[in-house]
Amino acid sequence: MPELPEVETIKLQLDRLLKNKIIASVELRLPKQVKSDKKKFLKLVIGAKIKKVFRRAKILIMDLDDGYHLVFHLKLTGQLIYQKISRQSGNYPNKYSHIVFNFKTGDRLFFNDLRQFGWVKLVSANELKNILQEFGPEPLAKNFSFEKFYNIFAPKKTAIKPLLMEQIFLAGVGNIYASEACFCAGILPTRRADKISTLEYRKLYQCLRKILKFAIQKKGVSAENYLDALGQEGEMVKYLKVYGRAGEECKKCGSNINSVKQGSRTSFYCPKCQG
């Protein structure tokens, strides 16, 4: 599933590419991907101008000039691929292109989704406010201090890594970056949150922010069909230390990377580097 760095990458690209573009038509090739009344969706979206594109947690929001907002969640395999009229190829649309936004310029935006878990909905300003309030603080926000981070997690009596992925506590962090942050900080993903020292928490806070920023620079991890808005793969997979590397050598100490099931997710760790 695209996490904060992947969705942020798409946001940065689409905000530049789509700002002030007018939606001329919309093709609903798989209507179930739209989680709104279809007639209202088409009526209010067609002819609207995109004012701004931004991200909250793992969702992408497009502000329209009619006061409504398009909210996208890519889930596991969703893609938002932009094509200029001058660079259109035979790759899109394909059988996974379930929604196509056509702009007055002739450019197009494809919402592709292999497994069809992703969605888009049209919401009012009040509805958007309610959606955004469901999430915890943004880990890269300027006002997200170590003290706030510590106060969220230190009292909890369950394993730290699943807590980092809880969107009500921290927005946008998923399995990839929670695993990587725990490795960077030298903390086992199974450690109880209330048994982690203040010094270790400071390291975890610093590691998480550093890794997320670096991942955005590398345009994310291309796993589960992830591509950026230009249809290109991210480079972050080359820099992963533990995620998806069970059985391989630790890049730091040479021990084998292990994995453990935590709930429905698999966590990856080095038994020597993490304690």
The residues that are catalytic are 2-3, 58, 265
Angle subtended by helix axes 146-153 and 198-217, to nearest 10: 110
CA proximity to 239, closest of 185, 176, 186: 176
Pairing of strands 59-64, 69-73: antiparallel
Query: Apex CA 139: angle with CA 50 and CA 215, to 5°?
Result: 75
DSSP reduced 3-state for 95: coil
- The answer for residues whose C-beta is within 8 angstroms of residue 189's C-beta and 6 or more apart is 159, 160, 161, 162, 178, 179, 182, 260, 262, 267, 268, 269, 274
For 143, phi then psi, to 5°, come to: -90, 5
Q: Is 257 exposed, middle or buried (0-12, 13-18, 19+ CB in 10 A)?
A: buried
Question: What would the two tokens of residue 185 be?
Answer: 């900080």
